Amino acid sequence: MTRRLALAIATGAGVGFAPIAPGTFGSALALVIFVLFSPVGPALFGVSWAGLLALGVWAADRAERIYGEDDGRIVIDEVLGQLLTLAPLLFWQPASAHLLVAALVTGFVTFRLLDIWKPGPVGWAERHFEGGAGVVADDVVAGALGSLVVLALAAGGAFA
């Protein structure tokens, strides 16, 4: 039971089994989660994200031991990072649906680029943590950097 629960969480309810680009599918899952759950507000969203982070580290650790490595099927890290990148949008009221879509697409692409490219602190986090924390750390750092990009763009009026 614990094994199945860990794998279900780690693979994003099976999204990680996508035959190509499972990390991108994990990020897309996060986009859907964000749209569905953003109405709960920043405080509850933040608490839920922190709970998912703890659960995700546990599940990624278990899945890494089951698979024998940080396997591509583990996408909870992309889910967490993508949600963090989109978090500044919780404080922004779009003027239109088109602007909301533009902001979501920008956040999605920004996170995927940072996750794949792994600049500076993202690469450092990937190299300096092990186990479940190691699986998740680089994506959380990429998500934090992505959130700064989204915040700067929103504050600069890019989505207004």
What's the pLDDT tens digit per position in 23-34?
A: 999 999 999 999
For residues 52-67, one letter each, b for 16 or more C-beta atoms within 10 angstroms of the residue's C-beta and e for the rest, the string is bbebbbbbbbbbbeee
Average pLDDT rounded to a whole number, residues 3-16 = 98
Residue 95 DSSP SS3: coil
CA torsion 16→21→23→24, rounded to 10°?
-120
- Please check the confidence at residue 94 and state whether its pLDDT lies above 80: no
The secondary structure of residue 91, as a DSSP letter, is G
Q: How far apart are the first and last CA of the chain?
A: 48
Domain ranges of the chain: 2-155
pLDDT > 70: what percent of the chain? 100
Q: Does residue 74 contact residue 135 with C-beta atoms inside 8 Å?
A: yes
Is the pTM above the cut of 0.95?
yes
Mean pLDDT, the chain, integer: 96
Residue 76 DSSP SS3: helix
Residue pLDDT, tens place only, 102-157: 999 999 999 999 999 999 999 999 999 999 999 999 999 999 999 999 999 999 99
Assign 95 a pLDDT band (cuts: 50, 70, 90): confident
From the list 136, 29, 138, 31, the residue with the least C-alpha distance to 89 is 31
From the list 62, 46, 83, the residue with the least C-alpha distance to 135 is 62
Assign 79 a pLDDT band (cuts: 50, 70, 90): very high
Give me the pLDDT at residue 1, please: 85
- Cα separation, 16 vs 70, whole angstroms: 12
Give me the pLDDT at residue 160, please: 82
